[in-house]
Chains A and B, each alone.
Chain A
Amino acid sequence: AQSVTQLDSQVPVFEEAPVELRCNYSSSVSVYLFWYVQYPNQGLQLLLKYLSGSTLVESINGFEAEFNKSQTSFHLRKPSVHISDTAEYFCAVSESPGANNLFFGTGTRLTVIP
């Protein structure tokens, strides 16, 4: 069985400061890993994903995440956050290849303080 743990339910950070949102997973097989973002009153949007290849993946708005197999982690980082990054962030995992459903973490609410 697969599961995802997001240890921090809320992360407040000042504007232009760095941030790390933690995600750990458990699985007995190879996995695909995802970060989704949910802005207020909207659905979830894919932020970035790891399927294979380079363990460091980046999004178009400056976020990056690194797949660490030995630590079963996929932490999300940004060196300098903006007010517009305020949102809820969900880490998700699926079995690879061929799995269709995702297992989501409980989410981390990032609040950027001016």
Chain B
Amino acid sequence: DAGVIQSPRHEVTEMGQEVTLRCKPISGHNSLFWYRQTMMRGLELLIYFNNNVPIDDSGMPEDRFSAKMPNASFSTLKIQPSEPRDSAVYFCASSLWTSGHNEQFFGPGTRLTVL
């Protein structure tokens, strides 16, 4: 398996622009997580989905952030409009959620720089 795939790996944009981050989870996994990592705040869970349904979006910073999972093999995290404080590494992770706990597999991340 190719693992969790994220694109782009690096994104540089100007303040006010729309940014879309993409994630392809591991085939067969039914849970997907979006995290943000910064030096100041560490690793933060933004939102997660079970079976394509958003379960907890309490970590989404504000209305400028939105996430979708239209099908089991694709998710997007959108920031509109972007601001310099959104600069961070954004990770997507997936897991096969059953009655027990299941390991989360992380993608390589997207490094976002907002100028």
Residues of chain A touching chain B, judged by Cβ–Cβ distance below 8 Å, are: 32, 34, 36, 42-46, 49, 51, 90, 94, 96-102, 104, 106-107
Contact = CB atoms under 8 A, between A and B. Distances in A.
Main SS of chain A's interface residues?
loop
B12 interface: no
Interface in B70-115: 91, 93, 95, 97, 99-109
13 contacts: A36-B106, A43-B4, A43-B93, A43-B107, A43-B109, A44-B43, A44-B93, A100-B50, A100-B95, A102-B104, A104-B42, A106-B43, A107-B43
A49 B103 contact: yes
Interface of B: 4, 31, 33, 42-43, 45, 48, 50, 55-56, 91, 93, 95, 97, 99-109
Contacts of A46: 103-105
**Interface residues of B, dominant DSSP:** strand
B104 to A, nearest CB: 6
B106 A44 contact: yes
Contact of A104 (B31, B43, B102): B43
A32 B95 CA distance: 15
Contacts of B42: 104, 106-107
